[in-house]
Amino acid sequence: MGGMDQFNTAGEDITLFRDMLLRCLEKEVIPHYDQWEKDGWMPKEAWLMLGAAGMLAPDMPEEYGAAGAPFEVNQMILEETCRLNLHALSTALNVHANIVAPYVNNLGTPEQKAHWLPKMITGEVVGSIGMTEPGAGSDLAGMRTTAVREGDEFVINGSKTFITNGLHCGLLVLAAKTDPSKGAKGITLFLVDSSLPGFKKGKGIQKMGQHSNDTAELFFDNLRVPASAVLGGLNQGFIHLMQELPRERLGIGSQAIGACEGAMAATVDYVTQRKAFGQSVSQFQNTRFKMAELRAQLELTKAYWKQCLHRFKAGVMSTEEASILKLTSTELQVKVTHECLQLFGGYGYTAEYPISRFFADARVQTIYAGTSEIMKEMIARSELGR
Ligand SMILES: Cc1cc2nc3c(=O)[nH]c(=O)nc-3n(C[C@H](O)[C@H](O)[C@H](O)COP(=O)(O)OP(=O)(O)OC[C@H]3O[C@@H](n4cnc5c(N)ncnc54)[C@H](O)[C@@H]3O)c2cc1C
């Protein structure tokens, strides 16, 4: 079971929400999930169902219709959905509930919060975040989408790519250049309503895993937003991204921990049943040592993750700590799913056994939200200076 309740002051809430979540997933998600994976997205009704079940951003304030639960409850949702091999759903929720909702709640005006948060909590509006462009991923300061002030409006032109929840997107937290001469210091965030004229969604991007979250390219063609759509301060976008990215990376750490646990549990089941050379695969020393090694690394990573949860809650988790967690937990997830798949033999490569999905879904974890190389850069910066 999940790793959080024993150590946490939010233990009771987590247990209560976990029971509700597991019931909801068992009844409303797991029976349909294979179909969603084939379709390349989950239907809008699924978002509304999750909203009605109280599973979308339960840690947002009660005044917007959420439960006002401790923030760990949201992390538990990310962890458990990955443990149950529902990684695509987990990533959709990480963006909607662990990234976009906190951006609105932390940076928004009272009017912006009252407008967007209630609809995000019911699932009526699905949230996305648009930072990456075809020509600017790791190097965000190189983005070319512009927002030019005209009277009481900004006119936005450009495009974004790899946007999670891009097809369902109702609200986009968009990063655009308001002062292109100033590089990173000329970026502003906007809350963009996707129903506005000039907002176009491309086709869904075909991926090697996490099929049932929709990933899309978005285009802005003379898209006019009111000046009241600015989120946070003008030209403060990069600073806001740096403030909020640690939470995104913590969420990815929670996903990685859940996925490692789920993949290892599926492997234990398999290797204890499968026979070769007159004994079960679990009796080979190689299997035992592999599983022992993975367990040891996972327990150490979990200890660091729990420390990060505590420090985030206390408001003191640093960018370096978030980078260490993202780097180590996602690299471990890739390793665990790779090693576990090997222990399934040929069956591991088939869609019929769960490990193939654990494996394929894991791969992007070391890429999005800052690649492992960028995480190393961040850590090195705090170790050695620039
Ligand atoms: C499934 C999926 C979902 C995504 N969801 C979103 C989303 O919702 N919103 C969003 O804005 N973006 C999203 N992304 C984009 C993601 O964050 C970027 O793909 C990622 O940041 C890397 O950027 P890039 O693809 O342009 O690679 P590049 O930046 O071109 O990197 C190519 C290679 O160069 C390396 N590299 C780059 N700079 C350095 C350096 N300084 N030192 C060493 N190595 C370096 C990288 O690590 C990588 O190995 C998503 C991506 C995927 C695949």
Ligand 1 proximal residues by C-beta, below 6 Å: 95, 128-132, 137-138, 162-164, 207, 215, 364, 367-371, 373-374, 377
Read off the DSSP letter of residue 307.
Answer: H
Band of residue 386 on the pLDDT scale cut at 50, 70, 90? confident
Name the residue among 182, 233, 45 with its Cα closest to residue 124: 45
355/342 Cα distance (integer angstroms): 9
| Annotated catalytic residue 299 | no
- Catalytically annotated residue among 37, 80, 244, 248: 248
Residue in 98, 162, 361 to alter for ligand 1 test, most ligand atoms within 8 A of Cβ: 162
Average pLDDT over residues 81-93: 98
Average pLDDT over residues 309-322: 96
Q: What pLDDT score does 100 carry?
A: 98
Average pLDDT over residues 324-340: 98
Which residue's alpha carbon is nearest to atom 43 within ligand 1? 373
Q: What pLDDT score does 3 carry?
A: 56
Which residue's alpha carbon is nearest to atom 41 within ligand 1? 374
Q: Which residues are bridge partners to 133 per DSSP? A: 136
277 SS3 class: coil
pLDDT tops 60 at residue 2:
no
Average pLDDT over residues 245-267: 97
Atom of ligand 1 lying closest to residue 210 CA: 1
Q: Please report the domains of the chain, with CATH numbers, ordered by start residue.
A: 11-124 (1.10.540.10), 128-234 (2.40.110.10), 238-384 (1.20.140.10)
Average pLDDT over residues 60-83: 97
Q: Which helix (H) or strand (E) holds 217?
A: strand 215-226
Ligand 1 midpoint to CA 364 (Å)? 10
Provide CB contacts within 8 A for 335, sequence distance 6+.
Answer: 294, 297
Atom of ligand 1 lying closest to residue 213 CA: 1
Read off the DSSP letter of residue 27.
Answer: I
Residue in 93, 103, 126, 132 to alter for ligand 1 test, most ligand atoms within 8 A of Cβ: 132
Q: What pLDDT score does 1 carry?
A: 42
In Å, how far are 132, 159, 187, 364 from 236, measured between CA atoms? Answer: 17, 20, 6, 29
Ligand 1 midpoint to CA 124 (Å)? 29
Q: What does the pLDDT look like over 267-295, one tens digit per residue?
A: 999 999 999 999 999 999 999 999 999 99
Percent pLDDT > 70 in the chain is 98
Atom of ligand 1 lying closest to residue 372 CA: 47
Band of residue 9 on the pLDDT scale cut at 50, 70, 90? low
Which residue's alpha carbon is nearest to atom 31 within ligand 1? 138
Average pLDDT over residues 204-228: 98
Ligand 1 midpoint to CA 367 (Å)? 6
367/373 Cα distance (integer angstroms): 9
Average pLDDT over residues 152-163: 98
Return the amino acid letter for 265.
A
Atom of ligand 1 lying closest to residue 370 CA: 21
Which residue's alpha carbon is nearest to atom 16 within ligand 1? 368
